[in-house]
Structure 1
Amino acid sequence: MHALDILGDPVRRRLIELLARGDRASGELTDVIRDEFGISQPAVSNHLRVLRDAGFAHSKAEGSRRIYSLAGERMAEAHAWLDTQLGFWTNRLDALDTELRRGFKEER
């Protein structure tokens, strides 16, 4: 699955934001997501599983708790794809800006 397919969901994006600040227990993540999105604990667990299975997060057991951490490799994949798109559009928008400025100068 493409990295952006995973990041397209707002709940998963929020989980990534939380994990980017440091490792978190699944219970802590569930509390935040339940408060913000109003979804159940099993639904949050499903989102965490998707992130883990897709390589965006790692988890480890610490006693009775499961601790999640961010896995940067897949984020790098998403970043690389975005860079290719931004380069394309930046060049096009710069060219458009140049042409618009020329048009405004000619009208004066």
Structure 2
Amino acid sequence: SVFGNIGKALSTALMIAQIAGTGGTFPVQMLPSGFREIYPYLPFSHAMTALRETVGGFYGTVYWEQMGRMGIYLLVALLIGIPLYTPISRAMARTNDLVASTGVMG
């Protein structure tokens, strides 16, 4: 993880929010309004719809629409992540060295 333990915690929090926000624990209609509003923008919602299509049978172009939307998320993540990886890695290495030099974190 580029951000170390903080990145791992953020990733876990995002995954929990996605599971809760896409009907993984309760149907979307029963979720609080905040989750219902962000539901269409979460990648998990498109993955679950595509999975339902593969399990229940293909109807029209729903599967390919959902896969295309997930492809857009992938493209955006790559366009943001690839250029920022090196500068963020360097900054985190400096931060880790600084923290290690204090002796506080063992």
TM-score, normalized by length of structure 1?
Answer: 0.37
- The structure having more radius of gyration, on CA atoms, is 1
TM-score, normalized by length of structure 2?
Answer: 0.37
* Larger RCO: 1 or 2 (CA < 8 Å, sep 6+): 1
Larger strand fraction of residues: 1
Larger helix fraction of residues: 2
